[in-house]
Chain A
């Protein structure tokens, strides 16, 4: 009697029947193709390091341009490395895809107005999220290409020869399934959340919070359901995974939408930063699936960056992150705004009054807010500052961390208007100097100079760090009309102080008139 054939061969043949195809012995090699050469791993590592340098460059404007080039180089290395280590047959289509996307991105970047930067960033976040969903699905449909298959042996006894055999089949390994499920979920949340943020920031959807009854229960329930589904997805038999990943994707799109609609416009800087963070975690999850260091490093950097920016924004508004995420802020704006009751006396001035006082001053601090951006008054403002500087006035700008609709938005707008960055100061660096300042010139800001944040415990902005404009000798306050309260919907004592002059007009028109009066 001839000895039984070696077990692996038997198992191999059974596996062939089981899968309906003959497994290609070269398959594992293909999967390991990326990792087989140490140079490839090294290239991705270099790309990741260049991304770190890109962010490092942003520590100062003088090094930032070089940092951005490091980023571009890192991306080039990552893309080229991936392309050359894979099948080149699809190269024309790939290049076409890069060309189409690149051209669209390039044109948008050239044309976008700096005021519209927040919604552009939100739109870009949504694309990262969607790309993560697509890559996750592609990995699910073609796991061999992503090298995430494993062979599973099921022991059984052969009915005829009676030998213990192993039945081999291939499936996506469970750890990769968890990474994949989470990557798809985070990507989908990033996508739908960013779309809502984009619509709110672009004014195509009301900035008012939309509050569903029982939303916390719905949201937490949906999040829990997603996590349970990811766990089931990891544990499921290969045949049962499709409905699970579909359910994960759909629920994650839904939760992204539900999470952002209750958040009011005033909290959008936090939301944009938070979605920035999510887009990073989505990239990191995909990096885990692929075992790709460039993606993991980048994901961690971007995730950390967004989280820190969210924290800075929350701190600048004295809000807890969870209360921002819970949403609803700004919903009771009408109630808070009407607490002032009947009209109170205030002093109104003209552009000529302002011009006269400004040129007499020694020190002026300008506090720009989002209203300046809306009125596109930054260029006129810089002209005004230039004229004042020629008359020997010391002009500086003070920027609150939450001025504008995203972190650093005001700085970009002032830079666009050619305001040198060393004339622009952060809250904590300049706030002690209002007492030695002749004129605080508030243009388009409101909540960030509201003393109620320091004194009124019932105010929704209580505890938020604000500029001490009330310590300046005089305050000029440009505002369209007395009716509108600030973004947080609270009245402002500064309007009614004896040293305050209200300049009621469109910000750009008022500054233009001041410029005329000065020159």
Chain B
């Protein structure tokens, strides 16, 4: 891809990011940080490319190490986000809300 094409995607994605993030409710700002953490670990793609190319051992090991670090983040980030989001619930949705009072 040409540099300009890549730059175009980047600039447009910045605008998308701007509007999407402003629409995130402040109550979910912590999950937002956790999930952005997880998705920024898409940098694992670079690690996978380096690890798959065996002809330069140094680069391969750096790639494998990058995969380990990024995987901690991917699994940890999505799992902790899921754990947090599961806690948010609405009023009167709890099973015992109606009957007891």
Chain B residues whose CB sits within 8 angstroms of the CB of A286 once the complex forms: 43, 46
Chain B residues whose CB sits within 8 angstroms of the CB of A295 once the complex forms: 42-43, 45-46
Q: How would residues 5 to 33 of chain B score, 1 for a CB under 8 Å from any chain A CB and 0 otherwise? A: 01001110110111011111111111111
A110 to B43, CA, bound (A): 23
Residue of A nearest to B19 (CB): A304
Contact of B16 with A101 in the complex, beta carbons under 8 Å = no
Partner of B37, one of A65, A125, A297: A125
Chain B residues whose CB sits within 8 angstroms of the CB of A47 once the complex forms: 42
Residue of B nearest to A306 (CB): B36
Contact of B88 with A421 in the complex, beta carbons under 8 Å = yes
Most chain B C-beta atoms within 10 Å of own C-beta, residue among A82, A112, A276, A282: A82
- Interface Cβ pair total, 8 Å cutoff: 392
Question: What distance in Å separates the Cβ of B40 from its nearest Cβ neighbour in chain A?
Answer: 4
Chain A residues whose CB sits within 8 angstroms of the CB of B16 once the complex forms: 52, 297, 300-301
Q: How would residues 42 to 83 of chain B score, 1 for a CB under 8 Å from any chain A CB and 0 otherwise? A: 111111111111111011101111111111111111111111
Q: How would residues 83 to 102 of chain A score, 1 for a CB under 8 Å from any chain B CB and 0 otherwise? A: 10011111001100111111
Chain B residues whose CB sits within 8 angstroms of the CB of A272 once the complex forms: 33
Contact of A304 with B72 in the complex, beta carbons under 8 Å = no
A124 to B35, CA, bound (A): 11
Contact of A110 with B48 in the complex, beta carbons under 8 Å = no
Partner of B36, one of A60, A175, A280, A426: A280
Contact of B36 with A142 in the complex, beta carbons under 8 Å = no
Contact of B18 with A308 in the complex, beta carbons under 8 Å = yes
Partner of B71, one of A98, A142, A390, A411: A98
Chain B residues whose CB sits within 8 angstroms of the CB of A290 once the complex forms: 45-46, 49
- Does A37 lie at the interface of the complex (its beta carbon under 8 Å from any beta carbon of B)? no
Instruction: Name the interface residues of A301-328: CB closer than 8 Å to any CB of B.
Output: 301-306, 308-309, 312
Question: What distance in Å separates the Cβ of B83 from its nearest Cβ neighbour in chain A?
Answer: 6
For B, the interface residue count at a CB cutoff of 8 angstroms equals 85
Partner of A131, one of B28, B35, B47, B58: B47
Chain A residues whose CB sits within 8 angstroms of the CB of B90 once the complex forms: 61-62, 420-422
Stretch of A133-141, A336-344, A462-470, A506-514 with 4 or more beta carbons under 8 angstroms from chain B: A133-141
A302 to B36, CA, bound (A): 6
Chain A residues whose CB sits within 8 angstroms of the CB of B77 once the complex forms: 105, 109, 124
Instruction: Name the interface residues of A262-284: CB closer than 8 Å to any CB of B.
Output: 272-273, 276, 279-280, 282-284
- Does A437 lie at the interface of the complex (its beta carbon under 8 Å from any beta carbon of B)? no
Residue of A nearest to B61 (CB): A138
Partner of A301, one of B39, B41, B54, B58: B39
- Does A401 lie at the interface of the complex (its beta carbon under 8 Å from any beta carbon of B)? yes
Which 9 A-B residue pairs are closest in the complex by CB-CB distance?
A101-B71, A105-B76, A408-B29, A304-B17, A145-B53, A135-B46, A138-B50, A300-B13, A109-B79
Q: A79-B45, A135-B62 are in contact. List 15 more A-B contacts (CB 8 A).
A: A35-B1, A64-B28, A94-B67, A98-B67, A102-B71, A124-B34, A127-B73, A138-B58, A138-B66, A283-B42, A288-B10, A291-B6, A293-B6, A295-B45, A408-B26
List A residues at the B interface (Cβ < 8 Å). 35, 41, 47-48, 51-52, 54-56, 58-62, 64-65, 67-68, 71-72, 74-75, 78-79, 82-83, 86-90, 93-94, 97-106, 108-110, 112, 114, 117, 120-121, 124-125, 127-128, 130-132, 134-135, 137-139, 141-142, 144-146, 175, 272-273, 276, 279-280, 282-284, 286-306, 308-309, 312, 390, 399, 401, 406-409, 411-412, 415-416, 418, 420-424, 426
